[in-house]
Structure 1
Amino acid sequence: MFHCPFCKTSAHSRTSRYLSDNVKQRYHQCMNIKCSATFRTLESIDGVICSPLTEPAITVPAPVATVNRAGA
């Protein structure tokens, strides 16, 4: 949630759209009825603090060959 740049009251997001994979544009409206300003913001990723761990590949061992015991 952003604050109105004019009266500093909370502003609600009305709509948004992605401009790219890492940038979102949002339209906001001030909740102060006397102000009611509408404005646009950009939200972007400027750095990654901790990336997710990649799961190790699970190797399934080949089945052990069984000896035919019919002739034993």
Structure 2
Amino acid sequence: MAFICPHCNCVAYTRTSRYLSPLTQEEYLQCTNIVCGHNFTLFRTVRETLSPPALPKAGIHIPMATKQRLIEMQLEIRRQKADTENQLELPGLTA
């Protein structure tokens, strides 16, 4: 997994990680900018359920996202899609 270095804004990659619980993981990252050289940790945690699982695990409770939150996420996805579709394509240049 990648993350942006908080110091130089370059990409930092996960070097190793460990699970602290079924819902939380600690990751150790290293900045790709050799001049910066920042090493740091972060936590990844499950925050909310967007759609219920087909195979729920006993003892695992993840709060369901509110209807308002789901609507906001749908609107954001539509906005991002519209932004992508409205980008100008220049002849001879490809992504």
Global fold match (TM > 0.5): yes
Q: Shift of residue 51 of structure 1?
A: 1.5
What TM-score do you get using the length of structure 1 for normalisation?
A: 0.71
Tell me what 2:30 maps to: 29
Greater fraction strand: 1
Amino acid at match of 1:17: R
- Bigger Cα Rg: 1
Q: Which has the higher contact order (CA 8 A, sep 6+)?
A: 1
Runs (5+) with no aligned partner, structure 1: 55-72
TM-score by length of 2: 0.54
Task: Report how far residue 53 of structure 1 moved.
Answer: 3.2
User: Would you identify which runs of 4 or more consecutive aligned residues in structure 1 move more than 2 Å?
Assistant: none
CA-based RMSD of the aligned residues comes to: 1.0
1:13-39 Cα shifts (integer Å, max 9, x gaps): 000000000000000000001001000
1:40 aligns with 2:26: no
Is 1:11 aligned to 2:35, yes or no?
A: no
Q: How many pairs does the alignment contain?
A: 54
Using the aligned pairs only, state the percent identity.
Answer: 37
Secondary structure at 2:6's aligned position in 1? coil
Gaps of 5+ in 2: 56-95
